Structure 1
Amino acid sequence: MDELPDWAPRNIDLTTPSAARVYDYFLGGAHNFAPDREMARRILDLHPTAEANAQANRAFLHRAVRHLVQQGVRQFIDLGSGIPTVGNVHEVAQREAPDARVVYVDIDPIAVAHSQLILDGVRNAAVVNADLRRPKEVLAAPQLAGLIDFSEPVAFLMVAVLHFIPESDRPEDTIAELHAVAAPGSYLVISHGYDARLDAVGAGAAPPAEQLAGEGKEVLGVYRRADPITVRTRPRIEQLFEGWPLVEPGLVWVPQWHPDWPDGVGTDPSSSYVLAGMGRKADA
C-alpha cells in the first residue's frame, strides 16, 4: 500500500480506486495509488486503447481552450476538473492570453489538494471543492466572486465528467442553471463517453448498461468499482446542449473536433469512445 504523500488529505481512502486518479494514471500523472493503478491495468486488459483515448480527450480539452481564447473568451470554469495533469487549463489559456482567469471545481479531495498545490502563487486561477450537481453552491463560492464576472462571456468546461452523473441527478438542470447566469456569447464544452452500438438502442433517455455487450459491458463493470458510469445515447447527449446551439463541427468523435492536423483524426475516430462538442449561448 502506498504511503500517504505530503500533499494528500489525511482522511482519504487508499483502498478504493478513484476514476479521477485512474484518469491521472492514463495521462502519465503521478497522483494515483496502488488500487487506482490496478484498476487501470484491468481496464487496459479489456480495452487496450483506454490510455490513448484518455490522452485524446485531454488533447481535445487543450484544443477547445485554445479555440475559446481565439473567440475572445477570458474566463473558464472547469467543472469536474479532476487532477490537473499534463497541461492544466490555466496553463493553456494563459499561454495564449495572460489575462485569462480559470476556476477549477471538483468534489475529489485529491484533485482539490493537488490543484491547491499547483495554484499556490499562480495569479488568476483558483480551485473550489464542490459538487457540480449543486450549481448554486458552485456559483456562490467566494473563489468565483474574485475571478469570474458573469456579465462577460464565460466558458463552462464539462470534459469527461457527465458520464459520472446519473440520470436521476438530472444533469440538464445543472446545465440550465449555468445557462441562466451566463452572459450571451458564453460557451459550454462537453465530452462524454459513448459507444456507437448504442445507436441501435434508440433515442431518448439513457439505456441500461446491460444493453452493451462484450468489452464495453466489462469495462463499465470495472469502472463501477470506483464511480458509477451512466451510458447515454447520442440524441441524449445532444439534449444536454439545449440552449447552447452547437458550433462547427457539431457533436463529433473527439479526434474530429478541430484536429491540429488532418492526420490527427486517425483511421477510426469512433475507437476513441468519446463524443465532444461546444455550444454557444446566443447573443441577446
Structure 2
Amino acid sequence: MSEPLPPIAQPAAAHPARVYNVWLGGKDHYPVDQEAAELAARANPAIVPSVRANRAFLGRAVRHLAAAGVRQFLDIGTGVPSADNTHEVAQRVAPDSRVVYVDNDPIVLAHARALLVSGPRGRTDYVQADVRDVDAILDAAQESLDLKQPVALMLIAVLQYIRDDEDPWDLTRRLLDGLAPGSYVALSHPASDITAPEVAESMRIYNERAASHATATPRTRAQVAKFCDGLDPVDPGVVQLTRWRPGPADVPDDTLPMWCAMARKM
C-alpha cells in the first residue's frame, strides 16, 4: 500500500524520481513534478511509452542476470517503488538474491519499507545517497553485498542526470572499480539521435523546472556505448529498448528515443 507523501514543504523544483512516477501513472509527486512531466510529454509523446519500455527492459535485464548466476544487485536511481522491482524479479528466478537500492529523493525513502520486503532466503537494503557519492554508495552497499563476488550494477535511466562536465563515464568506471571481476553493468539512457527535435524540446521543458543537480542530458548511441568501454558487451550490444532480448510478447518500436546496453567486467 502506498505511504502518504512526506510532510515537507512543497518543493520548488521537479525531481526525476517523482516526474518518472507521473509518467508511470503513480500518485507520489507534487504539482511541480506533474507540470514538468505533462509539458515534457506533450512536447515528446514518446516519453510515456519509453518509460514503460524502460521498465520492461529492467525486468528482462534482471531476469537475464539472475539466470546467468548473478545473485547480487546494486540498483542506483531506484525511483518510487512500482510493480516488478529489481528484488521481486530477481528473487523469482533466484530466491537467495540480494539487492541494495540507492536513491536521493525523500519520497523514495518514505517508500523504502516496500523495497525491503525480501523473500526469506534473500535480502534487500536501501541507501539514501546521490549517484555521485560513489565512495558512500560502495561503503554502504558492502553491508549487504559481498563486493568480492560479482554484482550487477543497475543504472537504469539515471546517467542522463550527470552532466558532461561531471564525467558520467568516469563515475561509472569508479563504481565498477569497486566491484569484483565478473560483475555486470546494465544501463538505459535517453537518446539525442532519435526523434532529436522532440527530445531536445522535452528536455528543455523538464530542465527549466528541475533543480540544477537534476537536469538531464540526452546522448548519442556512441556516447552511450562509451559507458561500456573496457568491458565485455552482452549481445545485442547498444540497442533501443524494445530490441534488447525481446520476449514473444514484446513489440519492437524504433521510435522510442532511449538506448540500453549490458556489459560484463572482465
Q: TM-score, normalised by structure 1?
A: 0.84
Residues 212-255 of structure 1, C-alpha deviations (whole Å, 9 max, x = no match): 53x22221111101231113222121111122221100000010
Determine whether 1:219 maps to 2:206.
no
Identity in percent = 39
2: CA distance, partners of 1:190 / 1:223: 21
Structure 1: 5+ residue runs without aligned partners? 199-211
Residues 7-60 of structure 1, C-alpha deviations (whole Å, 9 max, x = no match): 443335434322211211211222122222222221222222321110000000
Query: Which amino acid is 1:276 matched to?
Result: C
Q: CA deviation at 1:155?
A: 0.2
Coordinate RMSD, CA, aligned: 2.0
Contact conserved, 2:154 with 2:187, CA < 8 A, in 1?
yes
Contact conserved, 2:44 with 2:201, CA < 8 A, in 1?
no
- Name the structure 2 match of 1:280: 264
SS in 1 for 2:232: coil
Contact conserved, 1:7 with 1:117, CA < 8 A, in 2?
no
Q: CA deviation at 1:259?
A: 0.4
Higher Rg of the two aligned structures: 1
Determine whether 1:184 maps to 2:181.
yes
Pairs aligned (count): 258
Query: Which amino acid is 1:192 matched to?
Result: H
Determine whether 1:152 maps to 2:149.
yes
- Name the structure 2 match of 1:119: 115
Matches within 5 A, 1:201-216: 213=197, 215-216=198-199
Query: Which amino acid is 2:7 matched to?
Result: R
Aligned match of 2:81 in 75, 84, 90? 84
Q: CA deviation at 1:64?
A: 0.1
Contact conserved, 1:130 with 1:137, CA < 8 A, in 2?
yes
Query: Which amino acid is 1:68 matched to?
Result: L
Contact conserved, 1:194 with 1:273, CA < 8 A, in 2?
yes
Aligned match of 1:231 in 201, 208, 218? 218
Q: Which runs of at least 4 in structure 1 moved beyond 6 Å after TM superposition?
A: none
1: CA distance, partners of 2:64 / 2:262: 10
Contact conserved, 1:156 with 1:189, CA < 8 A, in 2?
yes
Q: CA deviation at 1:197?
A: 5.2
Q: CA deviation at 1:6?
A: 6.0
SS in 1 for 2:107: helix
Contact conserved, 2:115 with 2:125, CA < 8 A, in 1?
yes
Contact conserved, 1:254 with 1:274, CA < 8 A, in 2?
yes
Gap change, CA 1:12 and 1:182, over 3 Å in 2: farther
Query: Which amino acid is 1:150 matched to?
Result: L
Query: Which amino acid is 1:247 matched to?
Result: V
- Name the structure 1 match of 2:132: 133
Determine whether 1:72 maps to 2:69.
yes
Query: Which amino acid is 1:255 matched to?
Result: T
Contact conserved, 1:158 with 1:188, CA < 8 A, in 2?
yes
Residues 144-175 of structure 1, C-alpha deviations (whole Å, 9 max, x = no match): 23320012110000000101110111112222
Aligned match of 2:244 in 257, 260, 264? 257
Gap change, CA 1:120 and 1:101, over 3 Å in 2: closer
Q: TM-score, normalised by structure 2?
A: 0.90
Structure 2: 5+ residue runs without aligned partners? none
- Name the structure 2 match of 1:202: none
Q: CA deviation at 1:121?
A: 5.0
Residues 183-216 of structure 1, C-alpha deviations (whole Å, 9 max, x = no match): 2211001101003259xxxxxxxxxxxxx53x22
2: CA distance, partners of 1:23 / 1:117: 20
Contact conserved, 2:192 with 2:200, CA < 8 A, in 1?
no
